[in-house]
């Protein structure tokens, strides 16, 4: 069973951020947090996080709050 949270947002300058929290249950729980920030053609920042759900979920929420402070508000 997989559970996913995917957020794709844009700021006023057209920069796009994509944030995904992917949980895969297959014997053991594997969690991935994947973050990209850039425009439609270029990725400026990327981050991957792999570990237990509580840590990945906390990192997801922290990253999302940082994006909101940077002006990313418009959902795509």
The tens digit of pLDDT for each residue in 13-39 reads 888 888 887 776 655 556 666 777 777
Residue identified by tokens 């990253």 is 63
Read off the pTM: 0.69
pLDDT interval class at 1 (50, 70, 90): very low
Contact call for residues 8 and 32 (beta carbons, < 8 A)? no
Instruction: Note the pLDDT tens digit of each residue in 38-52.
Output: 776 666 666 666 677
Q: Which residues span the domain enclosing 45?
A: 2-75
How many structural domains does the chain have?
1
Q: What is the pLDDT of residue 30?
A: 62
Between CA 22 and CA 50 the distance in angstroms is 10
């Amino acid at each position: 069973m997989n559970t996913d949270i995917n957020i794709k947002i844009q700021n006023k300058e057209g920069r796009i951020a994509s944030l995904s929290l992917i949980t895969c249950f297959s014997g053991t729980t594997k969690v991935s947090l994947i973050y990209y920030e850039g425009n439609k053609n270029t990725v400026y920042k990327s981050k991957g996080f792999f570990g237990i759900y509580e840590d990945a979920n906390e990192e997801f929420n922290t990253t999302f709050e940082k994006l909101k402070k940077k002006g990313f508000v418009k959902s795509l």
